[in-house]
Amino acid sequence: MTLTNCYFKNVTKPGKKAKISGDKGSASPGKRRSHLELRTYLEAFFAQPEYSGFKYNPAKPYMQEFYRMTNQFGWDSKGTKEQQEKFIGAREGLNTASTLQFNAIYGEDEEDPAAWRNLCGVLRIANIPENSDMCRVLVESSYVNICDLVDSPVLNTKVKHFKSEEELSMYTKRTGKFFPLEDAHAGGLLKFLLRRILYPLKGESPYPRPILQE
């Protein structure tokens, strides 16, 4: 299954309208985010009526929770036709919820210097530049799992850097932490982190790796 061109089914927070379109979001590095704000779209996804029999734990890695839910309901990407359809439908909804959650946490506006500096900080890049273009280069030369990046501020975990696209691909396939390669809601910052997971470039990256904080 190729995780592209996802569809979003009514993923809104009960009692609160979720921001899906309009002005571009912007990260606020100086503002401490609440646990609820960091999981808004994912909470809304798991709160849909068709998943009412599943008790979602927002304090756990969200992909781990997704696989726990599909296992509970007996949905399988390699099972019967019905099981596959149920799994793919849920996966498509999660893909878009993941994209919107990334945008909500890190921002969408690639012209916003604060958003780039905030993202560099979460990536533990040393000597973060003031210039947005320089930050962009450092982010673009990083190989990290975006699902881990979405979980990081909630779980208070460090995002692992990989030496190459191939190494990142192996980790992603092993853990099942796939992030949609294409999504209509993908913001400017997110696009610089997307990598070819299914068919990665072989060997270590020829580009300089960012220096990380110790």
Coil, strand or helix at 125: strand
Q: Is the pLDDT of residue 7 over 70?
A: no
Give the global pTM: 0.83
CB burial string 119-149: b at 16+ within 10 A, e below: bbebbbbeebbeebeebbbbbeebbbbbbbb
Predicted confidence band at 32 (pLDDT cuts at 50, 70, 90)? low
pLDDT for 152: 97
Region 91-99 average pLDDT: 96
Q: In this structure, what DSSP letter does residue 4 have?
A: -
Predicted confidence band at 8 (pLDDT cuts at 50, 70, 90)? very low
Region 58-84 average pLDDT: 97
pLDDT for 184: 62
Q: Is the pLDDT of residue 113 over 60?
A: yes
Compute the mean pLDDT over every residue in the chain, rounded to the nearest whole number.
86
